[in-house]
């Protein structure tokens, strides 16, 4: 009996030993996969400002694709019951790692809101707020990648065709980006990795918005990944060049040729459509903006800048978001509006408007008679920064974290912004990341873009990314864009996305440039994002056909038995 128990104990010890060896092997494999996914996400994060290595986007997603498609399910052997490897082996966490690398690096500028001691927030609390904002928005974006990776694995698990994988993967990514754009947090679409340097490919946005650029990047990456997965392995080595890599190269070239044809179309600019616009970059630091010194500098700087631009014979002047941080009546009593009445030159002034018991972040058109001609209220507000999400539920908690008043409210989504020069397309700061805001106004007859932003308190990478967003909106709508920011980068952009002038960062500047009002309507402006639904329907149809084929095959096998 003792001998039998001894043998049993020895066997259990060997089983545990094999299980522990297996666990160690699995853990190393999972750590490697996680590291590869994180590193490739970081590569994608390097495509935007401040690095702007845009070309990395065309292969930085491929490693994640390979990991998702080739990530085989691990089997528990020899009775080893530790579930940890199965958890870390999930496609969800591999996608999360890639998303953390990409979104975390691209959005690191968010930490620039610290310190907020000038607002009365203690230093440590300010650091906690900045860290919370960065971590939360990073995980929000990373979760979308994790959902994509999980969906890819589930859907493609029973579909062996590589080209079908590419179609499904592209459709899923575009679909998830579209859903994100409906919400309050949306900035790091992978389409903006190509702005401002690859203007040729950005012209695909004229066909179906930024999702056309996203689809191009995902499809090329998917084909490169499938080329690696389906490489021919031989005794002498392995051959990577196959039909999938050839297809990827052909697709990349073809898409750039289409973009080039759109990019090289001449701009028809009749003199009757010309409009000379001036911008004032006030350079009022957030630390003093709402205090007497900041208010004094704002009134002086914008009034002086306005007069300087009037001397240059401009037709209108654009100021940044919140240039005069007052309500309408106080703005009308300001020295700036007094000069507008005197000089008779139209000015767009960033300020606040009343909306019931709340207020809006607004852009006011003030005409030469000193009256408000029109008002645009910001639609897309920054969560926590400009309003409290789920205020009824979380208001008490989040209001203690938020340094700003939570009573700011959004404007109506269907606003029309008329001006004495015709209908304009208005966008205030954060709205630059939401293409539908601009598409709607362009479809309604907007002839030029007025982008008014603050962008203060951040490193130069944030306004550079913001400028990249406005370039995309100008191309998609085929409109001239005028950007006025508080601290930079202010700019003038033509309908091909070419920056005609751009300011310095953290400088006080004024500049005048002639733009042209346009009434063209791109395919995207007329039809919106038609590509994503087409991809989703096509991918769904192919999946359904494959599913029915498999079911029919199984039924025939059962009948034969």
List active site positions. 321, 378, 429
- Are 70 and 125 a contacting pair, CB within 8 Å? no
Sign of CA dihedral 17, 19, 24, 25: positive
**Distance between CA atoms of residues 74 and 77, nearest Å:** 9
Sign of CA dihedral 452, 457, 463, 466: negative
Q: Is 356 helix (H, G, I), strand (E, B) or coil?
A: coil
For the chain, how long is the longest CA-to-CA vector?
110
**Beta-strand relationship, 237-239 and 232-234:** antiparallel
**Beta-strand relationship, 274-281 and 346-355:** unpaired
**Distance between CA atoms of residues 485 and 280, nearest Å:** 8
**Between vectors from CA 437 to CA 178 and to CA 386, what angle results, nearest 5°?**
95
**Distance between CA atoms of residues 194 and 184, nearest Å:** 23
**Beta-strand relationship, 237-239 and 491-493:** unpaired
Give, to the nearest 10 degrees, the angle between helix 210-229 and helix 62-70.
50
Helix or strand run (H / E) with residue 335:
helix 335-343
Q: Which of 94, 80, 66 is nearest to 165 (CA)?
A: 66
CB atoms within 10 A of CB 75: 7
DSSP H helical segments within 61-161, as ranges?
62-70, 84-88, 91-106, 123-156
**Distance between CA atoms of residues 483 and 468, nearest Å:** 11
């Amino acid at each position: 009996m003792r001998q039998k128990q001894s043998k049993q104990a020895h066997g259990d010890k060997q089983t545990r030993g094999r299980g522990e060896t297996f666990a160690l092997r699995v853990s190393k494999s999972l750590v490697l996969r996680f590291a590869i996914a994180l590193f490739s996400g970081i590569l994608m994060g390097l495509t935007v400002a401040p690095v702007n290595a845009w070309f990395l986007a065309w292969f930085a997603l491929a490693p994640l694709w390979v990991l998702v498609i080739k990530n085989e399910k691990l089997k528990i052997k020899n009775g080893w019951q530790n579930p940890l490897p199965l958890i870390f082996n999930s496609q969800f966490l591999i996608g999360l790692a890639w998303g953390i690398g990409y979104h975390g690096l691209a959005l690191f500028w968010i930490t620039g809101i610290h310190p907020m001691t000038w607002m009365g927030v203690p230093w440590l609390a300010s650091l906690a707020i900045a860290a919370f904002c960065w971590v939360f928005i990073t995980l929000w974006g990373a979760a979308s990648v994790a959902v994509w990776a999980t969906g890819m694995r589930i859907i493609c698990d029973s579909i062996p065709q590589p080209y079908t994988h590419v179609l499904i993967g592209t459709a899923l990514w575009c679909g998830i980006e579209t859903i994100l754009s409906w919400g309050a947090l949306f900035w790091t679409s992978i389409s903006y990795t190509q702005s401002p340097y690859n203007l040729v490919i950005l012209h695909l946005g004229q066909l179906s918005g930024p999702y056309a650029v996203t689809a191009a990047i995902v499809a090329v990456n998917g084909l490169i990944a499938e080329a690696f997965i389906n490489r021919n392995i031989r005794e002498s080595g392995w051959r990577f060049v196959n039909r999938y890599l050839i297809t990827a190269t052909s697709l990349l070239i073809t898409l750039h040729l289409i973009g080039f044809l759109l990019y090289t179309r001449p701009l028809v600019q009749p003199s009757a459509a010309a409009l000379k616009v001036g911008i004032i970059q006030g350079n009022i630091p957030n630390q003093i903006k709402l205090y007497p010194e900041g208010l004094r500098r704002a009134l002086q700087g914008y009034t002086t800048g306005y007069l300087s631009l009037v001397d240059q014979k401009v037709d209108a002047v654009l100021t940044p978001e919140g240039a005069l941080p007052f309500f309408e009546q106080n703005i009308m009593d300001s020295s700036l509006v007094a000069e507008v009445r005197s000089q008779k030159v139209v000015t767009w002034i960033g300020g606040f408007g009343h909306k019931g018991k709340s207020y809006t972040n607004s852009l006011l058109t003030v005409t030469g008679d000193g009256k408000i001609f029109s008002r645009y209220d910001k639609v897309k507000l920054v969560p926590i920064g400009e309003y409290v999400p789920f205020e009824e539920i979380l208001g008490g908690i989040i209001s203690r974290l938020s340094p700003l008043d939570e009573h700011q409210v959004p404007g109506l989504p269907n606003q029309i912004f008329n001006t004495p020069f015709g209908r304009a397309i208005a966008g205030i700061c954060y709205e630059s990341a939401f293409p539908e805001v601009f598409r709607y106004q362009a479809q309604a007859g907007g002839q030029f873009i007025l982008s008014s932003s603050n962008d203060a308190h951040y490193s130069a990478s944030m306004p550079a990314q913001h400028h990249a967003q406005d370039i995309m909106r100008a191309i998609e709508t085929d409109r001239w864009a005028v950007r006025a920011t508080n601290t930079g980068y202010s700019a003038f952009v033509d309908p091909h996305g070419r920056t005609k002038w751009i300011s310095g960062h953290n400088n006080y500047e004024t500049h005048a440039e002639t733009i042209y009002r346009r009434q063209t309507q791109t395919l995207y402006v007329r039809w919106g994002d038609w590509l994503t639904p087409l991809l989703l329907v096509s991918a769904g149809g192919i999946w359904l056909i494959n599913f029915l084929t498999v079911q029919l095959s199984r039924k025939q096998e059962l009948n034969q038995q």
